[in-house]
Structure 1
């Protein structure tokens, strides 16, 4: 049985959130490889250098230096294989309706998910 995704990129500045989300993704057999970045800038550099070619991204919204929407704007400027099929899940604790609205208007974002990611939510993403 092949896993749903080859490479999953998890971008969140919070170590604990990354730890929990990664464990959920691993135990749910969500992707062959899960790459964690604690900085949107670091993730952009990895995409630009071709170090990572994700087919799915779990992206935090509120991060220092570069937020999730700024990350998507920068990512849009980078050419990489499979970008046209890339799925982004905004993973945030934000309750701001404007964040949900902006997410629904972004061409990369498939769904806005309120933290924390759970096995139930992960199962729903696969169905």
Structure 2
């Protein structure tokens, strides 16, 4: 795989998960630039002020200050061009409600179970 995306934003409060996901993304040359935000609030501010203009976002669901779904509500209110941003819900949640809510959200491209793998990335790019 050779950089299908320019900028990838990873939003997850867990340092270890971010480390693992980043390594998988780097190993696959998934994006030219990978930006990590451990706080969804920080990510919203980075998007709002044009600090980051991602092509793709990997978003966790369960985070302490703001859930992935709360992030999506805030994302919806942002005055930015969203049509070319793919969002993948990357979560360890097995809750059917989370999966159903992800499937019905207009911004979520796909729900992916943690940990992210090279095989999962290859399937996204196929």
The runs of 4+ residues in structure 1 deviating greater than 4 Å are none
Instruction: Report how far residue 23 of structure 1 moved.
Output: 0.5
Distance 1:2 1:29, change over 3 A: closer
Deviations 1:41-83 (A, max 9, x none): 01011111110011100000000110000001101111223x1
Q: Runs of 5+ in structure 1 lacking a partner?
A: none
**Corresponding position of 2:55:** 55
Deviations 1:20-58 (A, max 9, x none): 000000110100110000000010111111100111000
Q: Under a length normalisation based on structure 2, what TM-score does the superposition of the two structures give? A: 0.96
Q: Under a length normalisation based on structure 1, what TM-score does the superposition of the two structures give? A: 0.96
**Corresponding position of 1:118:** 117
Q: Runs of 5+ in structure 2 lacking a partner?
A: none
**Corresponding position of 1:103:** 102
Q: Distance in 2 between matches of 1:85 and 1:118?
A: 24
Secondary structure at the counterpart of residue 64 of structure 1? coil
Q: How many equivalent residue pairs?
A: 126
Secondary structure at the counterpart of residue 62 of structure 1? coil
Alignment of 1:7 with 2:7, yes or no, is: yes
**Corresponding position of 2:76:** 76
